[in-house]
């Protein structure tokens, strides 16, 4: 565990040397392959140290964080070309990965909270520092205040729990079963805002639209998953009270997911559409966690991993088009199949994964979530049918609107996709669709 931590720490000085852009990316690749070769005991906490350890859930999320951070560097070659504060950008990514690594491997509740909040700072810099429009400052403030406003009750809840249990270790919480309404809401609201749940989701589309491609990738790929990870970890001692109140969260999530799916059809900004589709997917994840059964937990875990890869890849595609056309409007990005036929294939592959086509991880996640929701109440079938149907609907709308149609006459110069971009998309798509061959790692671990 500590070797990766030290490797990340010693990479920080490299960020400030000249011509280190690709070297840092290669070192992160090496680190990821070292991580993949670690032996893992399936259902136990392993690699224990004084304050860190991980199980299969942490392992999946840490690998996802490493992959997304590597791909963030790969997608931001434009910054290297114009030499736009490149050293600080690399430092930001390494610092963010360090925070994420610590969040996912922390077994101490207070330290988990500390790094959970610390990950906000580099994300905020990515939005404010490398975003495109002047509104990015407002978007950064939305992100900061939504998250911080709900985080103070979480801190109070952690201190109260420590007072009751006399320990902050997450794996001792199973001996303490809370029945307090206030503790329940104070513990879960910070994670529901992070996911985001409907009603507290307004920061997400703003942050996505204003962020640079790397900011969007980390927001969609990892930041949304922090909420789900926190819920999966802390639900262990909120079981009794959750079984009384879960129907409220599930109904809000499912109705919100349906409404957001409809809202996707109203979007004219490509990034905004992908961001709203993330909210719809996360509503299923929240429902799965709140039901508190085996299928719901594994379904939400698999869907989070799948969505992290798929959504990040779609933001990359949106950025590739933005670099060509200098607009993200659906009215201007039309008929792209004429210009970039091979990129159209990648659009098709990632959009089909987004609507949970086989063999993507999203399909496995959605099947097990539908299983768990229908076992909880057959009435949820109605909303699940609508969410699944409209999910396919807005994915097709995005694909057909961008790839077909008459080309906008204002496009006067254009260049084809380069090998770096195809590699970037391939590294999103291959794990998303080939991990289904080792789905037992994700499905049989409780």
List, as own/partner pairs, every contact residues 159-162 make where C-beta atoms lie below 8 angstroms and the sequence separation is at least 24, other chains included.
161/109, 161/187, 161/237, 162/109, 162/110
Q: Print the domain residue range for 129.
A: 1-35+49-443
- The residues that bridge with 108 in the sheet, in sequence order, are 169
Average pLDDT over residues 315-330: 92
Query: Is pLDDT at 45 greater than 90 in this prediction?
Result: no
Average pLDDT over residues 177-187: 91
Query: Is pLDDT at 140 greater than 70 in this prediction?
Result: yes
Q: Does 41 reside within a domain?
A: no
Query: Is pLDDT at 43 greater than 70 in this prediction?
Result: no
271 and 327 in contact (C-beta within 8 Å)? no
Query: Is pLDDT at 126 greater than 90 in this prediction?
Result: yes
Q: Does 259 reside within a domain?
A: yes
Average pLDDT over residues 64-71: 96
Within 10 angstroms of residue 341's Cβ, the number of other Cβ atoms is 12
Q: Does 44 reside within a domain?
A: no
Q: Does 63 reside within a domain?
A: yes
User: Environment class of residue 133 by beta-carbon count within 10 Å: exposed (0-12), middle (13-18) or buried (19+)?
Assistant: exposed
Cis-peptide, bond into residue 359, ω within 30° of zero: yes
Q: Does 350 reside within a domain?
A: yes
Average pLDDT over residues 401-420: 86
Reported pTM: 0.96
Alpha-carbon distance of 239 to 314, in angstroms, equals 36
Q: What is the DSSP letter of 221?
A: I
User: Environment class of residue 422 by beta-carbon count within 10 Å: exposed (0-12), middle (13-18) or buried (19+)?
Assistant: middle
- Give 42's pLDDT tier (boundaries 50, 70, 90): low
State percent of the chain over pLDDT 90.
77
Between 237 and 273, the higher pLDDT residue: 273
Residue-wise pLDDT tens digits, 339-359? 889 999 999 999 999 999 999
- 5, two tokens: 């931590």
Farthest CA pair distance, the chain = 68
Within 10 angstroms of residue 222's Cβ, the number of other Cβ atoms is 26
Q: What is the DSSP letter of 284?
A: H
- Give 300's pLDDT tier (boundaries 50, 70, 90): very high
- Give 51's pLDDT tier (boundaries 50, 70, 90): confident
Average pLDDT over residues 154-178: 89
For CA atoms 50, 92, 100, 207, the dihedral sign is positive
- Give 446's pLDDT tier (boundaries 50, 70, 90): low
- 234, two tokens: 């802390």
- Give 102's pLDDT tier (boundaries 50, 70, 90): very high
Within 10 angstroms of residue 215's Cβ, the number of other Cβ atoms is 31
Alpha-carbon distance of 64 to 47, in angstroms, equals 19
Helix axes 270-291, 294-325, angle to 10 degrees: 170
Q: Does 146 reside within a domain?
A: yes
Contacts of 189 (CB under 8 A, 6+ apart): 150, 153, 154, 200
- Give 414's pLDDT tier (boundaries 50, 70, 90): confident
Q: Does 175 reside within a domain?
A: yes
Overall number of domains in the chain? 1
77 and 200 in contact (C-beta within 8 Å)? no
Residue 178 backbone dihedrals phi, psi, to 5 degrees: -85, 150
- The residues that bridge with 343 in the sheet, in sequence order, are none
Q: Does 355 reside within a domain?
A: yes
DSSP codes, 88-141:
HHHHHHHHHHHHHHHHHHB-BHHHHHHHHHHTHHHHHHHHHHH-SSTTHHHHHH
Query: Residue 230 has what pLDDT?
Result: 95
């Amino acid at each position: 565990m500590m070797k990766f931590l030290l490797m990340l720490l010693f990479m920080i000085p490299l960020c400030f040397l000249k011509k280190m852009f690709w070297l840092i990316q290669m070192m992160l690749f090496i680190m990821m392959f070292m991580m993949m070769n670690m032996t893992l005991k399936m259902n136990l906490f392993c690699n224990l140290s004084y304050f860190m350890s991980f199980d299969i859930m942490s392992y999946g999320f840490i690998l996802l964080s490493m992959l997304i951070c590597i791909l963030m560097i790969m997608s931001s070659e434009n910054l290297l070309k114009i030499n736009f504060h490149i050293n600080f950008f690399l430092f930001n990514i390494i610092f963010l990965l360090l925070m994420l690594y610590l969040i996912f491997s922390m077994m101490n509740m207070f330290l988990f909270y500390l790094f959970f909040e610390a990950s906000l700072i580099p994300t905020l810099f990515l939005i404010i520092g490398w975003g495109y429009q002047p509104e990015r400052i407002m978007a950064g403030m939305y992100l900061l205040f939504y998250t911080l406003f709900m985080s103070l009750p979480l801190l109070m809840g952690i201190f109260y729990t420590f007072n009751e249990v006399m320990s902050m270790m997450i794996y001792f919480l199973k001996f303490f079963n809370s029945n307090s309404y206030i503790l329940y809401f104070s513990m879960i609201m910070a994670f529901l805002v992070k996911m985001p749940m409907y009603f507290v989701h307004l920061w997400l589309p703003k942050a996505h639209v204003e962020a640079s491609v790397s900011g969007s990738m980390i927001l969609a790929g990892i930041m949304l998953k922090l909420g789900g990870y926190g819920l999966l970890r802390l639900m262990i001692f909120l079981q009794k009270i959750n079984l009384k109140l879960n129907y409220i969260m599930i109904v809000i999530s499912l109705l919100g997911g349906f409404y957001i799916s409809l809202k996707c059809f109203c979007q004219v900004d490509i990034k905004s559409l992908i961001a709203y589709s993330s909210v719809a997917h996360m509503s299923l994840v929240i429902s799965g966690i709140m039901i508190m059964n085996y299928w719901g937990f594994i379904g939400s875990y698999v869907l989070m991993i799948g969505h992290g890869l798929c959504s990040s890849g779609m933001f990359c595609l949106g950025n590739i088009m933005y670099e060509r056309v200098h607009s993200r409007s659906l009215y201007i990005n039309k008929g792209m199949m004429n210009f970039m036929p091979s990129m159209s294939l990648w659009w098709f592959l990632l959009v089909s994964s987004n609507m949970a086509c086989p063999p993507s991880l999203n399909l496995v996640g959605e099947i097990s979530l539908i299983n768990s929701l229908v076992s909880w109440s057959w009435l949820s079938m109605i909303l699940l049918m609508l969410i699944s149907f409209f999910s396919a609907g807005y994915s097709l709308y995005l694909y057909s609107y961008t790839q077909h149609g008459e080309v906008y006459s204002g496009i006067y110069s254009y260049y084809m996709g380069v090998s770096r971009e195809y590699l970037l998309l391939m590294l999103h798509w291959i794990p998303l669709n080939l991990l289904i061959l080792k789905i037992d790692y994700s499905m049989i671990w409780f």
